[in-house]
Amino acid sequence: MGIKTALPTVELGLYSLVLSGALAYAGRGLLEASQDGAHRKAFRESVRPGWEYIGRKMDVADFEWVMWFTSFRNVIVFALSGHVLFAKLCTMVAPQLRSWMYAVYGVLAVVGTMGPWYLLLLLGHCVSLYVVSLSGQPWLCLSLGLASLASFKLDPLISWQSGFVTGTFDLQEVLFHGGSGFTVLRCISFALESCAHPERRYSLADLLKYNFYLPFFFFGPIMTFDRFHAQVSQVEPVRPEGELWRIRAQAGLSMVAIVAVDIFFHFFYILTIPSDLKYAHRLPDSALAGLAYSNLVYDWVKAAVLFGVVNTVARLDHLDPPRPPKCITALYVFAETHFDRGINDWLCKYVYDHIGGEHSAVIPELGATVATFAITTLWLGPCDIVYLWSCLNCFGLNFELWVQKLAEWGPLAQIEASLSEQMSRRVRAIFGAMNFWAIVMYNLVSLNSLEFTEMVAQRLLLKGFPRTTLAVLFVTYCGVQLVKERERTLALEEDQKQDKEKLE
């Protein structure tokens, strides 16, 4: 049943008030826990001096965030600034050669940071997949591509290939894994698109221009080859109206997010507290729920900042990169749970949609999800915690389809049809609230630890039942209702826009 009736203003206000109050209450508990634990011995490794003038230490438990804004900050600013200036000069002087100039600058940047032997290693993988693409056999291209990816994820091949990186650059391990992994995915995309469109006759030069576009090279996101090639091949690209304003807004939002995270890390130690289970056990249930939720929100913000910065540069180059990840607060279905839309688009196009079709049949959907998460497991690096994360999320994605099929079953469908739209919306929001916390729990496994996830589950579902359990679900239910209303409003605005365009 399509729910299109707007929620009453009073009901929306009540949901907003409940959600705001719950977040404030949980935040207060986390703030007190952070203040009390700042001087614990267990916190010394990950809580370092910060804003001493106000007596605040900083949570530095996240290696990636600290790396970006300390040792890697100057490298990022220098490399991307050079790319922007180089691209602007090329666009002004010889716009027909801009794709070549992007590739040349990218190759020089890779050689300058990782050395010539690393470049030769990647070129070897590129040439191998290009040669296989000439066969026109997608299964052969995908098989070799996955074998190449496995060589960067499994020993002893990964140890042998990492030896091609010369020097003692502090970040060489991070850049090695990032550059090599994304290179293989791009090569697979090129090979599969070549097989799908043999009449277009893509060349090795097209693959190299695609792979060595610097803003995407080390950290993504992935643009499938067909999209990248079509956009970068425009001789005289025209910027849509208002595009520069949107680019400035995106850059401004990224800066605001960076400052907000820095402030947050000085007052809330959301990454350090879960590492000290003995201390985390002392937290009240509300603070513990807020801690689990905050970890997922932070991971989303981190991805949004990384891709926001990169996408800003890509848009300056007249590209339309993958959108930033959808906020975790707005996620209550597994089908939309992804922090990297680029990899998600890649997996959907070449694996998930290819096998699952319309995603309406149980068996094909099961095969599609198993294949998708098998490749995701290989991409992340096979280990016990990744196996568990993949199995849980694969189950969650399939369980949604099973519940949907059950809801379409005759007796249940008749029951829902007899309900009012408001009541049907409430029933769906209840299931959405439960699903939201399943998403939180399943992803906490990879973001924190299995032990912390088990503790949260026991406190919120077993020891806290029924008081804490129902309170958390009610707050989440209010949030789901607000999200659904927001989605309804956006859909209505889109329908009105399309109707206006038809009239014009």
pLDDT digits 0-9 by tens, 185-226: 999 999 999 999 989 889 999 999 999 999 999 888 899 999
107 pLDDT higher than 50: yes
Average confidence (pLDDT) over 46-67: 84
Helices (H), 317-420: 341-347, 353-356, 362-380, 384-407, 410-418
Whether 124 and 180 have beta carbons less than 8 Å apart is answered as no
Cβ count near 404 (within 10 Å): 11
Cβ atoms of 273 and 291 closer than 8 Å: yes
Q: Is the pLDDT of residue 2 over 80?
A: no
**How many CA atoms, within 13 angstroms, populate the side-chain half-sphere of residue 85?**
6
Number of Cβ within 10 Å of residue 397's Cβ equals 21
- Cα 239 to Cα 86, 180, 230, 307, 327: the distances in Å are 18, 32, 15, 20, 27
Would you list the domain boundaries of the chain?
A: 9-54+247-330+419-503, 73-232
Evaluate whether 60 touches 46 at the Cβ level (below 8 Å): yes
Least confident of 122-126, 264-268, 494-498: 494-498
Mean pLDDT over each residue of the chain, to the nearest integer: 88
Q: What share of the chain is helix, strand, coil (3-state, %, to 5)?
A: 75, 0, 20
Instruction: Map residue 327 onto helix, strand or coil.
Output: coil
CA angle at 349 for the pair 343 and 355, rounded to the nearest 5°: 120
Q: Give pTM, 2 decimals.
A: 0.90
Structure tokens at 120: 């030769």
